Amino acid sequence: MSTRKQLSALEVMEVDQAKEKRKHDDIHSYACKAGGRCESSPSTPNQTPAPKKTKNVEPTAASEPSLMEVQNNIIQIITEKINNRADHLETMIKNNSKEIESVCESLNSIHSDVMGLKKENESLKKENMELRKKAAELDQRMNDQERYSRRWCLRLQGVAENSSENVKERVKEICRAVVPEEQRNVVTTAVDIAHRVGRLRAGEDKRVNSRPIIIRFTTRTARDLIWKHAKQSPFLKTQSLRFKEDLTAADKEARSRLWPAVDRARKEGKAAYFSGARAFIDGKEILPT
């Protein structure tokens, strides 16, 4: 670029010198015409004027790009990078969109399954509640039936065991001793079944750990008669014997919950007693808390 500028300056100087020479020749010819005579002056050699001094410019390559070109190149590179990034982002967005659509479809399917399971769960809950209710009703009915069948039975505790014993005959003797003389034949003939309950463990003393005896009567009248006189029988007290009701497992559990209140009431001098699984204090029924 600096070389071109130097060439242009030289051409300008040559043009200026040509103009000066032409002007000088015009003045000389005019003077000759006016005087009528003019000797030609010796021609002086034309000296090429010294070139004008130019600023020292470091020589650079002739193909050095301009600032505009550099800017255009930078803009082009940045544009290409932006386009590449934009294409990459567009691809990523498309892939993400597909994944999001797939996730949405999966979520919709899961939501549908969850709603189905929720409905099924509600139905199962309702069915479970109904089954629980029916089971409770069946348990109550079974307990009532078992309780009713046990109304013909009594349990006798404290009778020492003997390997050669006749349990039924021993029970008849005890029942005869409990009731008045005029009723002894009634209760004796009413004893249907009598046997020990449970299994005797090895090493236990039969005299100390005697198993209870369960007695089944043929009539409830005979059973109730024994139960009535057994509460105040001096024979049972002297022999350390005791008659107990034959309760169901549910009635035993109910009594165990009511026993603390009954025991406390008895210690306070109140009339507290059981009737089956029910407890009464001073004639009023109490409920487990």
Reported as a pLDDT band with limits 50, 70 and 90, residue 11 is low
Count of domains observed in the chain: 3
Same domain for 189 and 279, yes or no, is no
Q: Which of 191, 278, 277 is nearest to 226 (CA)?
A: 191
Residue 204 placed within a domain = yes
Res 6 pLDDT > 50: no
Residue 227 placed within a domain = yes
Q: Judge contact between 154 and 224, C-beta under 8 A.
A: no
CATH number at residue 163: 3.30.70.1820
Q: For residue 11, what are the domain limits? A: 1-34
Same domain for 266 and 176, yes or no, is no
Q: Judge contact between 159 and 170, C-beta under 8 A.
A: yes
Residue 1: what pLDDT?
Answer: 46
Find the range with the poorest average confidence among 57-61, 70-74, 167-171, 282-286.
57-61
Q: Regarding predicted confidence, which is higher, 227 or 22?
A: 227
Residue 13: what pLDDT?
Answer: 67
Residue 71: what pLDDT?
Answer: 84
* Best mean pLDDT range from 77-81, 172-176, 278-282: 172-176
Residue 32: what pLDDT?
Answer: 55
Cβ contacts of residue 279 below 8 Å, gap of 6+? 255, 258, 259, 261, 262, 272, 273, 285, 286
Residue 50 placed within a domain = no
Q: Which of 274, 248, 278 is nearest to 139 (CA)?
A: 248
Reported as a pLDDT band with limits 50, 70 and 90, residue 18 is confident
Quote the mean pLDDT of the chain: 82
Q: What is the mean pLDDT of residues 85-101?
A: 88
Same domain for 221 and 123, yes or no, is yes
Q: Regarding predicted confidence, which is higher, 193 or 57?
A: 193
Same domain for 129 and 16, yes or no, is no
Res 4 pLDDT > 50: no
Residue 101 placed within a domain = no
Same domain for 179 and 282, yes or no, is no
Find the range with the poorest average confidence among 144-148, 193-197, 206-210, 285-289.
206-210
Residue 205 placed within a domain = yes
**Cα(8)–Cα(1) distance, integer angstroms:** 11
Residue 8: what pLDDT?
Answer: 58
Residue 7: what pLDDT?
Answer: 47
Same domain for 132 and 237, yes or no, is yes
Same domain for 145 and 225, yes or no, is yes
Same domain for 214 and 259, yes or no, is no
Q: Regarding predicted confidence, which is higher, 22 or 246?
A: 246
Same domain for 275 and 239, yes or no, is no
Q: What is the mean pLDDT of residues 259-277?
A: 89
HEC assignment per residue over 93-135: HHHHHHHHHHHHHHHHHHHHHHHHHHHHHHHHHHHHHHHHHHH
Residue 68 placed within a domain = no
What is the residue-wise DSSP string for 228-246?
HHHTT-HHHHHHT-EEEE-
What is the residue-wise DSSP string for 42-98?
PPPPPPPPPPPP--------TTPPPHHHHHHHHHHHHHHHHHHHHHHHHHHHHHHHH
Residue 46 placed within a domain = no
Give the torsion through C-alpha atoms of 275, 281, 285, 289, to 10 deg: -110
Same domain for 185 and 273, yes or no, is no
Q: Judge contact between 245 and 258, C-beta under 8 A.
A: no
Instruction: Specify the pTM.
Output: 0.55
Residue 151 placed within a domain = yes
240-273 burial, b if ≥16 CB within 10 A, otherwise e?
ebebebbbbebbeebbeebeebbeebeeeeeebe
Residue 27: what pLDDT?
Answer: 62
Please say which residue of 231, 246, 261 terminates a domain: 246
Same domain for 138 and 125, yes or no, is yes
Give the pLDDT confidence of 176-231 residue by residue, as tens digits. Answer: 999 998 998 989 899 999 999 988 765 555 556 789 999 999 999 999 999 999 98
| Other Cβ atoms within 10 Å of 217 Cβ, number | 24
End-to-end CA distance of the chain: 112
* Pairing outcome for strands 278-281 and 272-275: antiparallel
Same domain for 192 and 259, yes or no, is no
